[in-house]
Amino acid sequence: MNLDDYSKMKDEIIKLISRTERIVTNDHHRDLLESSCQKLFENRFNLVVMGQFKRGKTTFINALLGQDLLPTAIIPLTSIITIIKYGESLKIRIFFSDNKAKDIQLDELPLYITEKYNPKNEKGVHHAEIFYPSSYLQNGVQIVDTPGIASIHGHNTEVTYQYLPNADAAIFLISVDPPITQAEFDFLNDLKKDISKIFFILNKIDIANDQDWEESLKYTKKIIEKEVGLNDVTIFPLSARDALLGKMQNDQEKLNESGLLSFESTLEEFLMKEKGNVLLNTAINRTLTVISQETLFTQLKQRSLHTPLNELEEKRKALTDMFSKVNRDRIDNEYLLNGEVQTLIKQVLEVDLENLKREKTTWLINDMKELYKAHQKESNKEFARSLDDYLTSQIKDIFNQWRSHEDKVIRTHLEKILQRFTLRVNEITEHILTFSSELFNIPMDVLIAKESLSIETSFWFRLYEPLDTLSMTIDFITNMLPKGLAHKLIFKKICRRAEILVDQHCGRLRYDFINRIEKTVKDYKYALNQSVDIIIKNIDSLLQSAQDAKKKTAEEVSILEEEINEKIQELAKIRQDFENIQQVLLPIVLKG
């Protein structure tokens, strides 16, 4: 299956959802259908391109897009996360750390996203978004360019690390020259903890002859498998430069020889299987849920029109009793959820933070003992500066890396907790629907699809800004002391400072994580609870209107009945169409 087939399937499903939307009467159902369509339109998949500086990441993205869009250079260049997403026409927007945004022209782009024109990110750019009409980016795939790691610009590495939790899959670039380095192994070892799918690319094969790059390929594969502990690594050899030229000059031969096409087809297949499958299935299930609930409600309405008033009142009483029992179950369920969240905070987050604090403080102090020896010859001032610089840079690295790793840990736990909560809510929903249909002798052949929500990924995209650490100053008296004594005092002071900084950062991270966990749980709980409330309210109000209908004239009742019959028939028809389409579509999706 290719992207075209996928687009057709998606369009069919969107059409069916719109047809359903036209006939439903319940506002909540309409919202659900609308948001399903919206998700189908814009579901995001972050494909992040990473690697050491100058491996050709940016050139490679240009090659995928077939256009010389992003700035590339011989010197370390990209310094800002640049997200490329689908748009009808080219549009570039720069987002700043103070939440402001600004639209710019293509030729202004280097002024914001490169180390050369925006050194040390003096312009305070948070990230850049480029909207571009490319078939790659349709269906919600976003390609993300990241600053190269391990260049002399340490802050660039940091930016890339912070973006790791948002990656759904990574493309990791290495190149024929020079061979893979220790810095790349270290980075890969961190990457594999966070990202389940990594594509490897050996770039710049054009600068070596076939024999040389094939040798380089074998060597790189073997050493990645050994050093990073990955099995059966596939590496795609290619020349991003030639692929870009081939596409831009319409030179098919150059493009074929560049090696890009083989990578592109593997990538497409992966995107279809991983993303397409989940996405389409979710939309189909959502719509079927709405259809079955609407059908049930309409049938209930139909039955109650023919139920004598006293019987109707009895049934309503039975339903009210059931609702209050259900509400008690819901309170218990929330209680369980809150307990599990508190356990997550206490037994995972706080334990991890405690370990981090202990390990890193000891580690930092030991490291500084080494530094103490190495810098003995320096003047008091220089000595203080050396230790202080080292501490500041270590603190940044430690907390950025820990945070991006812990994000994944917490998210995995939280997803499991919310899944259990959802299962319990689904049982409650099913109970309400079965009880009501049995009460009115309505056959429950309607499928009751389960509610499932996903944690909003956007919520997790918040960069962690390390605390501004004011440099340590040494006082006049210490400065005047003889070296040996002064160094001892400075060392003591810096060790104390290390403890304080670690402690402050742990505190801040604790606060940050707890806030995010609680907000996620609150939003999730609200959304699920709302879906139960709406069912209860609906059943109750349709019984009320059936009671009111008893006062209507025979003619009014028969008009009402006709409307109801029409709606039931139309719902059945849509459902049939849906199932037909599902039968055609799903085997294709599943086959990938």
Ligand X SMILES: Nc1nc2c(ncn2[C@@H]2O[C@H](COP(=O)(O)OP(=O)(O)OP(=O)(O)O)[C@@H](O)[C@H]2O)c(=O)[nH]1
Among 1, 23, 73, 345, contact with ligand X (rule: CB under 6 A):
73
Assess 59 for contact with ligand X (CB under 6 A).
yes
Is residue 54 near ligand X by the rule CB under 6 A?
A: yes
> Which of 36, 46, 52, 78 lies at the binding interface for Mg ion (CB under 5 A)?
78
- State in angstroms the smallest separation of the CB of 8 from ligand X: 34
Q: Residues 511 to 570: which contact ligand X by CB under 6 A?
A: none
According to the binding rule CB under 6 A, does residue 144 interact with ligand X? no
Q: Looking at 95-103, 203-211, 269-277, 299-307, which segment touches ligand X (CB under 6 A)?
A: 203-211
Establish if 121 lies at the interface with ligand X (CB under 6 A).
Answer: no
Q: Does 82 bind Mg ion (CB under 5 A)?
A: no
Using the contact rule CB under 5 A, the part of the chain among 49-57, 173-181, 224-232, 451-459 near Mg ion is 49-57
Residue nearest to ligand X (CB): 148
Which of Mg ion, ligand X, none interacts with 207 (beta carbon under 5 to 8 A by kind)? Answer: ligand X
Phi, psi of 101 (to 5 degrees): -140, 160
Nearest to 201 by CA among 61, 76, 66: 61
Question: Residue 5: which of 193, 138, 122 has the closest Cα?
Answer: 138
The answer to the question of residue 429 lying near ligand X (CB under 6 A) is no
From the CB of 172, what's the least distance to ligand X, in Å?
A: 11
In angstroms, the Cα distances linking 129 to 8, 38, 62, 141, 464 are 27, 20, 15, 13, 20
* Cα–Cα distance for residue pair 127/95, rounded to 1 Å: 5
Report CA Rg, the chain: 30
Assess 127 for contact with ligand X (CB under 6 A).
no
The token duo for 307 is: 């139920």
In the list Mg ion, ligand X, none, the entry touching 437 (Cβ below 5 to 8 angstroms by class) is none
Which span sits near Mg ion by CB under 5 A: 58-66, 157-165, 239-247, 577-585?
58-66
For Mg ion (CB under 5 A), the number of binding residues is 3
Stretch that binds ligand X, among 76-84, 178-186, 342-350, 375-383 (CB under 6 A): 76-84
132 binds, among Mg ion, ligand X, none (CB under 5 to 8 A by kind): none
Interface region with ligand X, contact rule CB under 6 A, candidates 35-43, 71-79, 127-135, 246-254 = 71-79
* CA atoms of 20 and 525, how far apart (whole Å): 27
Phi, psi of 580 (to 5 degrees): -60, -45
- Residue 280: CA atoms inside 13 Å, Cβ hemisphere, count? 30
When the beta carbons of 51 and 165 are compared against ligand X, the nearer one is 51
Q: How far apart are CA 402 and CA 407, in angstroms?
A: 8
As measured in angstroms, the least distance from the Cβ of 261 to ligand X is 15
Closest Cα partner for 62 from 260, 240, 267, 261?
Answer: 240
Residue 241 touches which member of ligand X, Mg ion, none, C-beta under 5-8 Å by kind = ligand X
Spell out the residues 6+ positions from residue 470 whose beta carbon is closer than 8 angstroms to its own: none
Q: Report residue 381 as tokens.
A: 């001032």
Judged by DSSP in three states, 100 sits in: coil
Amino acid residing at 143: I
| 557: alpha, beta or left? (left if phi > 0; alpha if psi -120 to 50) | alpha
Chain residues binding Mg ion by CB under 5 A are 57-58, 78
